[in-house]
Amino acid sequence: MIPVSVDPNAPLFIVLNVGSGNHDTAKTRAIIEEILTHAGREHHISMVEDPARLHDLARQTVEKAKPRGGVVVAAGGDGTLNAVAQATLPSGCPFGVLPQGTFNYFSRTHGIPSDTAEAARLLLTARAHPVQVGLVNDRVFLVNASMGLYPQLLENREAYKQQFGRSRLVAFWAGFISLLREHRQLRLRIEYRGETRVVRTPTLFVGNNRLQLEQIGIPQAYLLEQGQLAAISLRPVGTLAMLWLLLRGAFGQLGEADSVSHFAFKHISVTPALPYGSRRVKIATDGEIEWLQAPIEFRVAPEFLFLLKPEPDLSVSGQS
């Protein structure tokens, strides 16, 4: 699909998460307002003071934007972008991003500047490009979704961030400590292309972000641009082997490890062996933890998210 031009007078409806990253929220808001006001662009900023209200506020923002032909903008980290994209996807509204997080995988993949002022100026001129969205059951994910060890690692990482602050070093250290602890194995029945396979693994990770997959060395990363997702699972290994895999991922060599399985797909159904009477599974989507009903369906969303982003540099990519 080709990019869609956005009405230069379309109002911008911005959801700004106070708790994202290390940014000074008041300063961030002032930068956004100065640039948009100077450009004469109508805009409305909704501040997320309570994280528990993020999804409701995102939904209310989309409800305001849609009848006016407005653009919905998420200002925050990947978790904030996820919540606002969840509300925006079915509406068809253009979607803008003002990155404020620690890793910002989604915005970096699509060439959106990390500088707030530059990202705000981009909102004024960018066209809306269709980008792929992943679904786990009915939940959106822009970067990744996972079950097992990875959601536990994210919970531990958040606890460390609360204590030591938000940084990539803290995130890496939290992951290292998590891997030192005992982790249970999942028994998963995966239905894929009409076949069923049973695997034992500490985690199942599904990626929808080319940059992240390339950084850890997964060869299917390029297939995301062909309408697929990438699944990664680890064979049962000991703690030392798990730490070695962590290092391989840090050096972009995870996909070459014998104990790592990976494949591309459009849809898989995953049924974990659960304790008697239990039907819920802990899932992480773009760094946010939630519980979903089994079976767990991972698939490519049938609709695109129309993202305001820079035009591709064809002189560099050599692609049209």
pLDDT digits (tens, 9 = 90+) for 153-212: 766 556 545 555 555 555 555 555 555 565 678 999 999 999 999 999 988 999 999 999
What is the 8-class DSSP label of residue 4? B
CB atoms within 10 A of CB 159: 11
What is residue 320's predicted lDDT score, i.e. its pLDDT? 33
Does residue 70 sit in helix, strand or coil?
Answer: coil
What is residue 99's predicted lDDT score, i.e. its pLDDT? 94
Is 219 within a domain? yes
Positions in the chain whose pLDDT score sits under 50: 160, 315-320
Residue 171 C-alpha from the chain's centroid: 16
- In this structure, are residues 264 and 229 in contact, taking their beta carbons and an 8 Å threshold? yes
CATH number reported for the structural domain that contains residue 121 in this entry: 3.40.50.10330
What is residue 319's predicted lDDT score, i.e. its pLDDT? 41
What is the 8-class DSSP label of residue 309? E
Percentage above 70 pLDDT, the chain: 82
- Are 158 and 256 in a shared domain? yes
Is 2 within a domain? no
Number of domains forming the structure of the chain? 2
- Are 244 and 276 in a shared domain? yes
- Are 230 and 157 in a shared domain? yes
d(CA 61, CA 50) in angstroms, rounded, equals 16
Is 293 within a domain? yes
d(CA 49, CA 308) in angstroms, rounded, equals 26
> Dihedral of CA 238/288/170/206: which sign?
positive
What is residue 252's predicted lDDT score, i.e. its pLDDT? 82
What is residue 318's predicted lDDT score, i.e. its pLDDT? 42
What is residue 316's predicted lDDT score, i.e. its pLDDT? 42
**pTM for this model (two decimals):** 0.86
What is the span of the domain harbouring residue 260?
139-300
Is 82 within a domain? yes
What is residue 239's predicted lDDT score, i.e. its pLDDT? 67
Structure tokens at 245: 């895999």
CATH number reported for the structural domain that contains residue 189 in this entry: 2.60.200.40
* Neighbouring-strand partners of residue 309: 127
